[in-house]
Structure 1
Amino acid sequence: MFPIAFDPIYKYPVPDGHRFPMDKYELLPMQLLREGIAVESDFFSPEPVDMQAVYAVHDRAYADRIVQGALSKQEMRRIGFAQSPVLAERELRITNGTVQGALKALETGIAFNIAGGTHHAGRDFGEGFCMINDHAVAAQYLIDHKLCRQVLIVDLDVHQGNGTAQIFTNQPLVFTFSMHGKNNYPFRKEKSDLDVPLDDKTGDDIYLKILENTLPELLEQVKPDFIFYQAGVDILQTDKIGRMSCTERGCQLRDEMVMQLAHKHSIPMQCSMGGGYSPQLRTILNAHANTYRVARQIF
């Protein structure tokens, strides 16, 4: 089995009516338990992250405005949520779920965060429903505490990890790899260490071939001793905003490729769920559950 970060705050109503697709954070653990993919003891509930870890990658004034509820209307409009103490606490818990998951993955080989993957949050800004960049905070935490020498962030969400790229522009110990829709949000892209932009309607065959031709070579080049994996399922053809044409099976094979490579090279991995916006919630849940099914087979 493997550790999974989950917190009861996910059950709280999200401010300003943004309930869907947030329901998946509550329903996915139930599905994992029902199928026997996970057991109760796999789940852990994180406390809010230590702000010193947040300050290591985010501008202190910006981070403090999140906690104090002092973000401007313009900042909140860019983020997409209404400001509230519940939302701020949720962001801090999500972030620590990834930090603690990374620490657990050093022992177990892999760990998950039911949420996380808030890759649009940059050093001094939030956007696209992302306020604090959990992978960035956790990656820098591992480096600062000398728990790893080189991090690779594998971002396979349909949207570019622009915030992650911006944060680590001048950090050689974190290599950012983003494979995303060329014409999709964010429309102003940042420069990752490696960007692989994909055309609209890219399907399984092309998607998987590109990844197969990219990731193994990248592992040889970067030689990471830790991987953060953004496993968004918004590459599905059914996704309302993804503009791609991958199937659930293709998405599952993508996860297999990433996890098999990490396992083969004995590289610990922390995996966050990222995006997924198909009209049917059951499609989102099954696609995310496939990621855990794959992990159970491999690890």
Structure 2
Amino acid sequence: MLAFHSDAHALALPPGHRFPQSKYRLLREHFEREPGLLRMQAAPAASDAELALVHEQDYVDRVQQGRLSAAEQREIGFPWSPTMALRSRHSVGASIAAARAALAEGVAANMAGGTHHAYAHKGSGYCVFNDVAVAARLMQLEWHRRHGAAAPGLRVLVIDLDVHQGNGTAAIFRDDPTVFTFSMHGAKNFPFRKEASSLDVELPDGCGDDEYLAALDQALATIWARLGAEPPGLAFYLAGADPHEADRLGRLKLSNAGLLARDERVLAQLHQRGIPVALSMAGGYGHDLTTTVAVQVNTLNAASRWWQRWQQGDGRMQA
């Protein structure tokens, strides 16, 4: 399975900053030691034209040129630096590459990404550009170019299981019937002002495996019922590790086994319906980062096994 990484571009963070950027390097290094079915590639950078499919040009320019205000940098959570701008472009490029690979091979992954708090006009919550939104818009555009205006367009499903609501993604696609956004998240967690997704499921603090998986089963059934007449041709799955019981910011109580069961449910149901999927790793803030990395290793290994089933002909590839 193709997986795209962008951890070469480090953020210039002050000592003690709580964003765990080293987890991306640790994840890549794990699969360098034990690649399994993963074929890792360095991610390309998203272009200005690609970012402009979602983001206001003035915002893109200010990120690139270092003209973000102090308040904007505080809302993002990162001080501006040239590598911050470069890293953000490569993170979007990783989801673009993963989406193209998923359409060709059934399953692919961004080994970072899931920057779902970024809006069209601003960043927020450690998210500068919205990688999934840009990749979704670009895949729709490329589909249109390939199949022509007379053919049905590419419908997209976003399954966001980061512990924080995907508010930026929900806002970007609020008035777009071709993109269905689903977010299942902590009710009392960040962002404290939620946006309306196509489907939102809020969970109480302390939610454990059984309650979580029951809510996920019900939500997935609702999605398939609502999308039955017009099924998506591509899904993005934000497989956050932050619902884990040892996460500093998550406030939920899922075990490693519960999170793996979550991943298997999502991947199995997409496979059963012949819907290609591009994964993003999204959030994860363990007190011990090896715990977070272990969750994401499990996710990528599960995705690789489902990718293998697509290659064996047990799945419908998208033309």
Q: Same fold (TM over 0.5)?
A: yes
CA contact (8 A) 1:237 1:243 kept: yes
User: Partner residue of 1:233?
Assistant: 241
1:15-164 equivalent positions in 2, closer than 5 A: 15-17=13-15, 18=17, 21-39=20-38, 42-146=39-143, 149-164=154-169
Matched residue type, 1:184 = N
Q: Shift in Å at residue 298 of structure 1?
A: 2.3
1:296 paired with 2:293, answer no
Deviation at 1:19, TM superposition (A): 7.5
Q: Alpha-carbon deviation of 1:220? A: 4.0
CA 1:282–1:58 in structure 2 vs 1: closer, same or farther (change >3 Å)?
A: same
Letter in 2 for 1:183: K
2:183 corresponds to which residue? 178
- Mapping of residues 203-214 of structure 1, within 5 Å: 203-214=208-219
- Alpha-carbon distance in 2 for matches of 1:211, 1:132: 27
Which stretch shows the higher mean deviation, 144-153 or 263-272? 144-153
Q: Identify unmatched segments of 5+ residues in structure 2.
A: 145-152, 308-319
The answer to whether the Cα contact below 8 Å between 2:209 and 2:258 also exists between their aligned partners in 1 is yes
TM-score (norm 2): 0.89
The CA distance in 2 between the partners of 1:45 and 1:293, in whole Å, is 19
Matched letter for residue 156 of structure 1: L
Distance 1:260-1:85 versus aligned 2 partners, 3 A rule: same
Match for residue 242 of structure 1? 250
Identity %: 41
Residue 9 of structure 1 aligns to a residue in which SS?
Answer: coil
Q: 1:184 to 1:19 in 2, by over 3 A?
A: closer
Q: 3-state DSSP class of the match of 1:16?
A: coil
Determine if the alignment matches structure 1 residue 224 to structure 2 residue 232. Answer: yes
Q: CA separation in 1, counterparts of 2:182 and 2:284? A: 20
| Residue of structure 2 in register with 1:202 after alignment | 207
- Give the Å deviation of 1:264: 1.1
Partner residue of 2:294 out of 273, 286, 291 = 286
Q: Is the 8 A contact 2:107 2:306 kept in 1?
A: no
2:220 matches 1:215: yes
CA–CA distance in structure 2, aligned partners of residues 64 and 31 of structure 1? 36
Specify whether residues 19 and 243 from structure 1 end up closer, same or farther in structure 2 by C-alpha distance, changes over 3 A only. Answer: closer
CA distance in 1, matches of 2:276, 2:225: 16
CA contact (8 A) 1:99 1:138 kept: yes
Write the distance in 2 (CA, Å) between the matches of 1:116 and 1:76. 19
Which letter maps to 1:187? F
For 1:13 and 1:67, how far apart are their aligned partners in 2?
14
**Are the counterparts in 2 of residues 13 and 19 from structure 1 also a CA contact under 8 Å?**
no
Per the TM alignment, residue 274 of structure 1 is displaced from its structure 2 partner at its CA by: 0.5
8 Å CA contact retained: 2:11, 2:81 = no
Aligned-pair CA distance for 1:13: 5.1
